[in-house]
Structure 1
């Protein structure tokens, strides 16, 4: 259990961790609170004390996982320093996005939310707002900064961010979404893919 948490907080975390495993393995309809209680080693009553319903538990899991993933990307990518090589900086940016998103848990979560979009449309919005939309907003701010330094030629930073995002993310994410965990690329392949995406991006937006 996590250090520094009181007893109630440890139980809360244990329930969330167990529920994440069960939801991702069984889907929403295939999950029941008895399984979550058993896996988290608490009573079913305790589960309901922390979460009033299966729906509330599912919503918290999706919201938490997406937020943590977004925070991780932004923590890993520092602001560009003028002494850096721009291409290398952008390759690292793309690689960090790929390496955070292309994990079994997040890919399973995306599939699960898409499968439940008619039941929980608000969760699809959370996934989009805190995932791709947040990433592209951060990219747009970065590209505005780089254009201000004379390093990129950008008329619309949001469009440039969308182009960068899909050059880097589209192919591997779509492949893993459809083919499963076995299709998650190795780190060296992710680096190579990010380099090629950046090369095309800079051909369009780089300062000649």
Structure 2
């Protein structure tokens, strides 16, 4: 049976407000009554849908995972059309964007409180992106890839590793020339994995 549209709308408002509230105040400092007010719904509505702060926090993380899974499917479809360069630019923009990065920073801080949630997030979000990239690297023309998973890790670090490390500690550190950084990372990856750079056997 389809969900009542009013509940669907309330759910979307609550999740959006909860994401921003948790990012701003952390898990411990978050207040469900304030989240309800920021979402423009009655606090009873929040408790009826989610039950409490922990369930609401988990729902915010689950929504982020769902977005990452959709993004991974789009990446898989985009590799053939856009090449590694287009995919790299989209990946950097997504991971270092204003919704993913603050939540990732928050979840790292709460990993001792929610260890299984942190592991699940890694497996179904950045881990899934790595597996998606790995699944397509062998098919890239001009590249010699013996270990796709390791190659995917190299590509991801070259594209966004250093900016991501800085941004996890300093929210203002995302470079303005993010596209140029991503493209330079792909260029370095192509040089490292160029088929002609491999010595001929025997």
Q: TM-score, normalised by structure 2?
A: 0.87
RMSD: 2.0
Alignment coverage as a number of residue pairs: 193
What is residue 92 of structure 1 aligned with on the other side?
86
* Secondary structure, aligned partner of 1:153: coil
Q: 1: distance between equivalents of 2:122 and 2:36?
A: 30
- C-alpha displacement at 1:79, in angstroms? 3.8
What is residue 64 of structure 1 aligned with on the other side?
63
- The answer to whether the 8 A contact 2:72-2:128 is kept is no
- C-alpha displacement at 1:70, in angstroms? 4.0
Q: Which structure 2 residues correspond to residues 1-208 of structure 1 after superposition, within 5 A?
A: 6-72=5-71, 74-75=73-74, 78-80=78-80, 89-146=83-140, 151-180=142-171, 182-186=172-176, 189-208=177-196
- Runs of at least 4 residues of structure 1 off by over 3 A? none
- C-alpha displacement at 1:171, in angstroms? 0.6
What is residue 199 of structure 2 aligned with on the other side?
none
Unaligned runs of 5+ in 1: 82-87
Q: TM-score, normalised by structure 1?
A: 0.85
- C-alpha displacement at 1:118, in angstroms? 0.7
Unaligned runs of 5+ in 2: 197-202
Q: 2: distance between equivalents of 1:78 and 1:166?
A: 20
Q: Which moved more, 1:109-118 or 1:194-203?
A: 194-203
* Secondary structure, aligned partner of 2:78: coil
- C-alpha displacement at 1:120, in angstroms? 0.4
